[in-house]
Amino acid sequence: MNSLNFILLLVCFTPVSLQNGAEITNLQGDLLNLLEIKEKPSVARSRSQVPKYVMDLYKEQAHTTGFTKFGKSAPRKTIRTFFRDTSVSEDKSRLYFNLSSLKPNEQIEKAELRLFKRRSKLENTHGHFKVTVYRLNRRPVEGNTSWKKKLTTVATKHVKCRRVGGWVVLNVTSAVSFWSSWPSRNFGLWISVKGIGIPTSDFFIATGGRKEPILVIYGDDKDKKQDKSLRPFSEIPNETRHNGEDKHNKGKGKNKQDTSGIMNRRRRSVGDVSCARHKLFVKFRDLNWDKWIIAPRGFSAYYCMGTCPEVIDKYYDPSNHAIIQNLLHHRLNKNIPAACCVPTSLNSMSLMYFELDGSIVLKEYPGMVASTCGCR
């Protein structure tokens, strides 16, 4: 993904262009391609059905603006949440999840089955349940129980009987990894519960709304490389580059004389259009994407703009090549291009959205935000 092109495209957003239907359609197609999304999903679920656990994952990973928090990224770069497919089976003991949206190059790191057990109705709750999850190796046939002899144990957990409801989390990584390699052999999971010192019938799995059984898969693209240009969000200035001078003083042994020199240069450049980072916020509602993109509500598309001074100092974080090129431009030959104001470091953005099949994706996109600007 060329994230720099993505930022440049967002810079082109203006109220005028957004009123042009053809341009919106073309822009939507380009952005979907950059986000590696096949097509705009037809949303079959509402925001109210997004599980609290999934929303909490997003809040831990990203700020409300979508910027990924430094040190708070999700366990892996992509988290997918699947809901059970009731068209295959309405039996609460058999849970089928359509995993067709998993990509062939997606590395499965962990998979969790999350079930919400309703509160106990018993007076005496001194006991527990043994919950076992099996992988089905055959398609169940009504009236024939031979398929139960071909079950593969995936996970077992002892759950205490309580007067309050709560989530039961089971590790089903082995099953999902198997289905990833053999998609045609995905017949679902079978849940078996045995009460120990307590009636088995008291174990009741909730369905519907935010308490629907879900399958959460943590993964990453096998071919994706970590973006080395990522910066902690705390180091990204809130305004333009001119308001980020502390970034150059922190941890680099800058003395007060250096700081005053920077401030003096800022005073002299008042009125000049110097290289700086500028704000630009794009609402997903303007693209008619607010129904299928769950969070954030919009994207802070910062961009770099301005001229670089004839003699570029360290304040603009230039490369040696940029310094030489700019000097040659101003003092020798105007046909030599001047140094450009460009992003010198980038930050990642987290996006949570509905997939075509109704599942939920929480994905981190590296290099999406211009965190600092300089001359190169």
DSSP string, 295-340: E-SEEE--EEE-BPPSS--GGG---HHHHHHHHHHHHT-TTSPPP-
- Delineate the domains of the chain, giving CATH numbers in brackets: 51-221 (2.60.120.970), 276-356+367-375 (2.10.90.10)
Task: Point out which residues pair with 219 in neighbouring strands.
Answer: 78, 108
Which secondary-structure segment (H or E) carries 175?
A: helix 173-181
pLDDT grade for 327, boundaries at 50, 70 and 90: very high
* 259 burial level (CB within 10 Å; 0-12, 13-18, 19+): middle
Question: Which of 38-52, 207-221, 259-273 shows the highest mean pLDDT?
Answer: 207-221
For the chain, percent of residues with pLDDT exceeding 90 = 47
**Residue 173 contacts residue 110 (beta carbons within 8 Å):** yes
**Residue 198 contacts residue 128 (beta carbons within 8 Å):** yes
Summarised one tens digit per residue, pLDDT across range 25-43 is: 787 888 888 888 888 887 7
Residue 347 above 90 pLDDT? no
Tokens for 123, please give them: 């007076």
Report pLDDT for 76.
54
Question: Which 3 state secondary structure label does DSSP give 207?
Answer: coil
Identify the residue with better confidence: 7 or 173: 173
Q: How far apart are CA 81 and CA 343, in angstroms?
A: 34
Report pLDDT for 240.
37
**Residue 204 contacts residue 139 (beta carbons within 8 Å):** no
Q: How far apart are CA 281 and CA 270, in angstroms?
A: 25
DSSP assignment letter at 274: B
Please give the mean pLDDT across all residues of the chain. Answer: 80
Region for 271 from its dihedrals, namely left if φ exceeds 0, alpha if ψ lies in -120 to 50, beta otherwise: left
Report pLDDT for 9.
45
Radius of gyration of the chain, Cα coordinates, nearest whole angstrom: 27
Q: How far apart are CA 147 and CA 150, in angstroms?
A: 5
pTM of the predicted model as reported, rounded to 2 decimal places: 0.78
Summarize the confidence of residues 271-293 as an average pLDDT.
86
**Residue 6 contacts residue 31 (beta carbons within 8 Å):** yes
**Residue 327 contacts residue 313 (beta carbons within 8 Å):** no
For the chain, percent of residues with pLDDT exceeding 70 = 79
Q: How far apart are CA 66 and CA 45, in angstroms?
A: 22
Summarised one tens digit per residue, pLDDT across range 228-276 is: 444 444 444 433 333 333 333 333 333 333 333 333 344 344 446 899 9
Tokens for 102, please give them: 């998993």
Tokens for 364, please give them: 């981190």
Question: Among all chains, which residue has been given the structure tokens 């008619």?
Answer: 288
Q: How far apart are CA 68 and CA 245, in angstroms?
A: 22
Identify the residue with better confidence: 218 or 245: 218
**Residue 353 contacts residue 361 (beta carbons within 8 Å):** yes
Tokens for 153, please give them: 């144990």
